[in-house]
Amino acid sequence: MDGWRPSVCPFDCPDTCGLLVRVEGGRAAAVKGDPQHPFTRGFLCQKMAQYPARVHHPQRLRAPLLRIGPKGSGQFKEISWDQALSLAAGKLGDTAEASGASSVLPYSYAGHMGHVHRNGGHAFFHKLGASKLGRTICSATASAGFAHGLGSGPSTDLSWSQYSDLIVIWGSNTLSTNLHAWPWFQEARKQGARLVVVDPYRNQTAAKADMHLMLRPGSDAALALGLMQVLIDEDLVDREYVAAHTLGFAELAQRAAQHPPETVARLTGVPAGQIVELGRAYGRAKAPFIRTGWGPARQLKGGMAMRAIALLPALVGAFGRRGGGIARSTGAGAYLDLAPLLAGELAPEGTPTVNMVELGRALAPDAPRPINLLWVYLSNPAVVAPDTSAVLKGLAREDLFLVCQEMFLTETARWADLVLPGASSLGITDLYTAYGHRWVQMARPVIAPVGLSRSILAVFQEMAARLGFSEEVFRAGEEEIISWLLAGGSPCLEGVTLESLSSCRPLKADIPANPYAEGFLTPSGKVEFYSESLAALGLDPLPGGEPSRDDDHGGAYPLQLITPPREQFLNSTFNEVDLQRQRAGEASILLHPLDAAARGIKDGGRVRVFNARGECLLRAQVSDAVLPGVTVAEGLYWGAHTPGGAGINHLTSQALADLGGSSAFHCNQVEVAPVS
One domain, residues 663 and 585: yes
One domain, residues 623 and 598: yes
One domain, residues 73 and 174: no
**Which CATH number belongs to the domain containing residue 482 in this structure?**
3.40.50.740
The reply to whether omega before 636 is within 30° of 0 (cis) is: yes
Domain presence at residue 291 = yes
pLDDT tops 90 at residue 676: no
**Which CATH number belongs to the domain containing residue 17 in this structure?**
3.30.200.210
One domain, residues 102 and 203: no
Domain presence at residue 300 = yes
For 320-341, the pLDDT digits (tens) are 999 999 999 998 999 999 999 9
Total domains in the fold of the chain:
4
Domain presence at residue 548 = no
One domain, residues 468 and 402: yes
Determine which helix (DSSP H) or strand (DSSP E) holds 457, and give its type and residue range. helix 456-466
One domain, residues 181 and 267: yes
Domain presence at residue 550 = no
Distance CA 480, CA 84 (A): 27
Q: How far is CA 88 from CA 278, 354, 401, 461, 626, in A?
A: 58, 22, 9, 13, 49
The residue out of 14, 29, 55 marking a domain boundary is: 55
Domain presence at residue 552 = no
Single-letter amino acid code for the residue at 330: T
pLDDT tops 80 at residue 564: yes
Reported pTM: 0.97
- The whole domain housing 659 covers 559-674
C-alpha distance across the termini of the chain, in Å: 57
Q: How far is CA 215 from CA 201, 226, 296, 357, in A?
A: 8, 12, 11, 26
One domain, residues 161 and 26: no
One domain, residues 25 and 119: no
One domain, residues 463 and 349: yes
For 344-393, the pLDDT digits (tens) are 999 999 999 999 999 999 999 999 999 999 999 999 999 999 999 999 99
One domain, residues 323 and 337: no
One domain, residues 433 and 481: yes
For 96-134, the pLDDT digits (tens) are 999 999 999 999 999 999 999 999 999 999 999 999 999
Name the DSSP class of 300.
Answer: T
Distance CA 675, CA 116 (A): 48
Distance CA 314, CA 307 (A): 12
Query: Mean pLDDT over residues 558-580, rounded?
Result: 95
- φ, ψ of residue 423 in degrees (nearest 5): -80, 155
Domain presence at residue 503 = no
- Give 470's contacts (C-beta < 8 A, 6+ positions apart): none
Per-residue pLDDT band at 532 (split at 50, 70, 90):
very high
Domain presence at residue 172 = yes
**Does residue 471 contact residue 123 with C-beta atoms inside 8 Å?**
yes
One domain, residues 518 and 489: no
Q: How many CB atoms sit inside 10 A of residue 608's CB?
A: 16
